[in-house]
Amino acid sequence: MPSLSRELAKWIVGLRYEDLPPEVVDRAKGVTLHCLSSALLGSQTNGGKQAVRFITDEEAGVAKGATILVDGRKVTRGGAAFANSEMAFAGGKWDTYKMLTHPGTSIIPCALVGAETAQASGRDFIVAVAAAYEVAERLGADFIPTVMSRGFHPGPVFGIFGAGVAAAKLAGLDEDHMNSAIALCASLAGTGIEGPRSGGKALREGAAVRNAMLAVALAREGHVGGETVLEGDAGFYHAYTGNNKGLLTYSFEGKTQADLGAITRDLGNSWTFLETLYRIYSISGYNIAHIDVTAALCREHDIRPENVERVEAVVNWLETQYPSPAFPVRREDGPPKAGMTPYYTAYAVVKRGFPVLQSWGGGPPTVSDAAPEIIDMMKRVTIIPSHTMTLFGPRITIVTKDGRSYTRQGTGREFIWDFDEEARRIRDIVPGIPIPAAQYEALIATCRDLERQARAAKLIELTLIEK
C-alpha cells in the first residue's frame, strides 16, 4: 500500500482546475480575499510592522525573491511568506477550521509567493490553494484537539503542510519531489504553547510558512524526505498525538478513535475545504456564533435589552476551556469578564451585532472600556458546557422579564458563505485599511475573476501603497 504522503502527493500533482467543483473555486477566491484583507489591516499593527522590519533588516538587497504585501520591498521567498503571514495574523481576519486552526494565514502567503515567483495564472493559484486547504484540513480533521492537549498548537502544526503544498504545487514539483516536500514539512512542523502560557509571545503560522518554504526548496533540490513519515511507528502522528493508531485524547465530536485511512479516502470527490468558515469578527473563533445567533434571535422576536431577565448558552464543552482541557488558560463557563463568551453574547443582545472593523492587536476589551449596559447584561449570561453540542453551534435561550422564553439553535455553519457574501461583509474594513477604497474594490474584483487572470501576482500589486 502507498504511504499517506505518497497518496496525497499523487493527488496533488494530478489535480487540475477542471477537476474543481464550482463551490471549491468560489471558496478559494473567498479565503484569498479574507487573508489579503487581514494583511491590509495587519500591516498597520505593531506586530505586522515588527515582522516587516525584521525581514527587511535581515534581507535587504535580495536580487531575486518575492514581494512583501503593502510594503512592496523584495526579500527572500521564505522572508516574504513570513512577513505576509505575520501581517495576516495581526489583522485578525482569519478563516477557521475546527476552532483551533486558521489555514489561510499559512496557505495564502505561500501561494502568493509561489504564484509570483512562478509567474502563475489565477487558475494555477486557485488549484494550489484548493489542494493546500484540502490536505492540511484532512491531516488535522480528527486530531486537532488531541494535538493541542499534547502542548502543540495545531494551527502551525497542520498549517505547514498546507503552506508547503501550495508552494510546491505552484513550483511544479513532480510526485516524488512533492512526497518529499510533505515529508520534510513533517520534520519541520512545530510550535509549542507553553511559551504564551508563561508570559511569552506565541510563535505561530509565520514560523510554519518559513519552514514550509525551506521544505519545498530542499525537496526541489533532491532532498528525499522518506515514505512513512506521517503514519510510521516513529512518524508525525506518533509524535504529535501520542500514537499512530488513531487513538484520540479529545475530539470535538466525542470520538475516541480516528481512521487514518480517511485522510486520503475519496480525495477530489468529498471536499473538507468547504467546511472552512470565515472568522469575520476579530475575536476568539468560538465566540463569533454567539454574536450572530443571539442577534438573530433578538431581531426575530424583537427582544429589547431592557426586557431580558437572563440568557443561557449551551455550547460544545471544548469551547469553554481554551486552549485545551489539559491546561486551560481561561474557563468561559466561569465568572464572566469582559472579553469572555458571556460578554460577546451580551454584546449581541444589546447591539444586535458586532463591528467587523475592530482592532485585534489591542487584546480583549476590559470593564473600563466596555459599555455599562453590556457589562450589566453580561452578568445575566450563563454558559452551559455540553458534550453533544456541535462546534460553533450554540443554543441560545433568552428569558424575558414577562416569563417568556425564546430559543435559537446555531448550526455551526453560520459563517460558511459564498464569495459574494464574503465581499459584502468584509467591505466594512475599508475605513481602516491603508489603500484607497477604489483600489480595494479592484482587489475584490480581481479575486472574483481570479480564474480569468493571466497573473495571480496582480493580487499582490493591488495591496501596495503608492509611494
Higher confidence at residue 125 or residue 367? 125
170-179, 199-208, 358-367, 401-410: segment of lowest average pLDDT: 358-367
- Residues 97 and 278: their CA atoms lie apart, in Å, by 9
Q: What is the mean pLDDT of residues 142-154?
A: 97
Phi and psi (nearest 5°) for 310?
-160, 165
Q: Is the peptide bond before 109 cis (omega within 30 degrees of 0)?
A: no
Condensed to tens digits (0 to 9), the pLDDT of residues 108-134 reads: 999 999 999 999 999 999 999 999 999
Measure CA of the first residue to CA of the last residue in the chain; give whole Å.
56
Residues ≥6 apart with Cβ < 8 Å to 83: 51, 52, 54, 55, 68, 69, 71, 75, 206
> In one letter, which amino acid is 230?
L
Residue 202's pLDDT is 86
- Residues 35 and 89: their CA atoms lie apart, in Å, by 9
Q: What is the pTM of this model?
A: 0.97
Q: What is the three-class DSSP state of 309?
A: strand
Q: What is the mean pLDDT of residues 17-22?
A: 98
Q: Under CATH, domain 286-409 is a member of which superfamily? A: 2-methylcitrate dehydratase PrpD (3.30.1330.120)
- Residues 27 and 420: their CA atoms lie apart, in Å, by 10
- Residues 124 and 141: their CA atoms lie apart, in Å, by 25
> Measuring CA to CA, how many Å separate 104 from each of 27, 32, 86, 209, 290?
11, 7, 11, 11, 23
Residue 363's pLDDT is 57
Q: Which CATH class is domain 4-279+418-461?
A: mainly alpha
Residue 137's pLDDT is 98
Report whether pLDDT(60) > 90. no
Question: Taking all residues of the chain, what is their mean pLDDT, rounded to a whole number?
Answer: 95
Report whether pLDDT(146) > 50. yes
Report whether pLDDT(163) > 90. yes
Residue 61's pLDDT is 82
Domain residue extents for the chain:
4-279+418-461, 286-409
Binning pLDDT at 50, 70 and 90, where does residue 358 land? confident
Beta strands per DSSP E along 308-401:
308-316, 321-322, 330-331, 381-386, 395-400
* Residues in a beta bridge with 395: 314, 409
Q: Report which of 233, 225, 190 is spatially closest to residue 210, judged by C-alpha positions.
A: 190
> Measuring CA to CA, how many Å separate 363 from each of 92, 202, 354, 447?
11, 14, 16, 30
Q: What is the mean pLDDT of residues 353-361?
A: 77
Q: Is 288 left (phi over 0), alpha (psi -120 to 50) or beta?
A: alpha
52-61, 100-109, 204-213, 399-408: segment of lowest average pLDDT: 52-61
Residue 364's pLDDT is 60
Q: What is the mean pLDDT of residues 203-212?
A: 96
Residue 370's pLDDT is 77
Helices (H), 391-436: 419-426
Beta strands per DSSP E along 206-341:
277-278, 308-316, 321-322, 330-331
Condensed to tens digits (0 to 9), the pLDDT of residues 243-266 reads: 999 999 999 999 999 999 999 999
* Residues in a beta bridge with 382: 312
Report whether pLDDT(410) > 80. yes
- Residues 14 and 29: their CA atoms lie apart, in Å, by 21
Q: What is the mean pLDDT of residues 57-64?
A: 87
Condensed to tens digits (0 to 9), the pLDDT of residues 66-111 reads: 999 999 999 999 999 999 999 999 999 999 999 999 999 999 999 9
* Whole-number percent of the chain with pLDDT over 70: 97
Q: What is the mean pLDDT of residues 28-50?
A: 97
Residue 359's pLDDT is 56
Residue 360's pLDDT is 47
Are 399 and 405 within 8 A, CB to CB? yes
* Whole-number percent of the chain with pLDDT over 90: 93
